[in-house]
Structure 1
């Protein structure tokens, strides 16, 4: 992780395979990352609302608990649109699930597979395993903001947002010491995700890309 600064779970998930990040705190620094098809599109879907609208929760979502000393904030948490709110809610649980798996050193945590699949799941598992080898967990407060959802015509959702790690750090698992480092431009990351709703009604992340040091998030 870049000089021990906390790389959030969501940022690092792009590490594997065709996804973008290449190591702890790595990523496309500045400039454009590879684009996920439809991720930048503001076009709303013409998919039938009845096919996308959230049903009563029968998915039996897992209980996810963040490690002591870590806090996450998500802005906005809700938009007032039930479909978009379901996307935002499941994405937030996805981020929490990966951070929990890092704290538990469990790259195969069922909660991560619950909220991710395909490239995103492969990336998550590889990232968790890589962090586990460094024997650190995440501490401090990480803020996710400017979360914007669009529903594509094929029924998938695209989600873009920014991450602020200026108050997020890594913690040595053996000593408990928090590795506090000064904030800089690399403390900010932009994200672009694709999510698809499974047959249980869960919006799972399938693809994720990020740009560390993206100027549009430095505010």
Structure 2
């Protein structure tokens, strides 16, 4: 991960991981990859970028805490449609759960499994493991915009969004050094299509994620 350590930078790797890991299909295989998430590296646990406030819906949601110096910005939180807003809120929590797993040093990250399932969980596990193996993390701000929700059928929705990682910078966990010298490029942007399904508890979980391209988001 010599470039900016965002989901965009790992897109090719994670798409390949989905193709190879999703073929397993068993609970045992999924648990193995979930275990990769347990020790995500790095960071002051002080909250600096809050996730959307938990709604009063009776769901016991895990708290997500991002470290100081790490932020996520989500544009278009309010669409005027409460159902779409609920989907976007859980999409936001899912993305924050991945950021937390990469940047916060903790034994477990329950929010990751709470908001991701199936191929999307396998993709996230592989992405996070890439940071752990290299003793890397990052600081800075990830921005998400042009977020759109389309309901496919009852309890199933498609969500698309752009990601801007130009304001994130790699952090070496051994030395604590942050590399701010990396120039911006088209690789710092990504466009994603996701499939989300409302589970029995009422949570909109992300089931699959497809990276399309970055240039359309520039």
Q: TM-score, length-normalised on structure 2? A: 0.76
Provide structure 2 residue ranges, at least 5 long, that are not aligned to the other structure.
21-54
Partner of 1:126: 126
Q: Residues 189 and 182 from structure 1, CA distance in 2 versus in 1: closer, same or farther, beyond 3 angstroms?
A: same
1:177, CA displacement in angstroms?
A: 1.5
Partner of 1:200: 201
1:15, CA displacement in angstroms?
A: 5.0
Q: Residues 14 and 82 from structure 1, CA distance in 2 versus in 1: closer, same or farther, beyond 3 angstroms?
A: farther
1:106, CA displacement in angstroms?
A: 6.0
Q: Give 3-state SS (helix, strand or coil) of 1:123's partner.
A: helix
Q: Distance in 1 between matches of 2:160 and 2:60?
A: 26
Q: Distance in 1 between matches of 2:17 and 2:126?
A: 6
Question: Does 2:115 align with 1:115?
Answer: yes
Matched residue count: 181
Q: Distance in 2 between matches of 1:10 and 1:155?
A: 31
Q: Distance in 1 between matches of 2:194 and 2:176?
A: 33
Q: Of the two structures, which has the highest relative contact order with CA contacts closer than 8 Å and spacing of 6 or more?
A: 1
Q: Give 3-state SS (helix, strand or coil) of 1:152's partner.
A: strand
Q: Residues 67 and 14 from structure 1, CA distance in 2 versus in 1: closer, same or farther, beyond 3 angstroms?
A: farther
1:108, CA displacement in angstroms?
A: 5.8
Kept after mapping to 2: 8 A contact 1:192/1:210: yes
1:145, CA displacement in angstroms?
A: 0.4
CA RMSD of the aligned region, Å?
2.2
1:164, CA displacement in angstroms?
A: 0.8
Kept after mapping to 2: 8 A contact 1:90/1:202: yes
Q: Distance in 1 between matches of 2:129 and 2:167?
A: 24
Q: Give 3-state SS (helix, strand or coil) of 1:179's partner.
A: coil
Q: Distance in 1 between matches of 2:135 and 2:191?
A: 26
1:17, CA displacement in angstroms?
A: 2.4
1:54-133 equivalent positions in 2, closer than 5 A: 56-104=56-104, 109-133=109-133
Provide structure 1 residue ranges, at least 5 long, that are not aligned to the other structure.
20-54
Partner of 1:176: 176
1:150, CA displacement in angstroms?
A: 0.6
Partner of 2:211: 210
1:211, CA displacement in angstroms?
A: 3.2
Kept after mapping to 2: 8 A contact 1:160/1:193: yes
Partner of 1:140: 140
1:153, CA displacement in angstroms?
A: 2.2
Kept after mapping to 1: 8 A contact 2:119/2:208: yes
Q: Residues 64 and 77 from structure 1, CA distance in 2 versus in 1: closer, same or farther, beyond 3 angstroms?
A: same
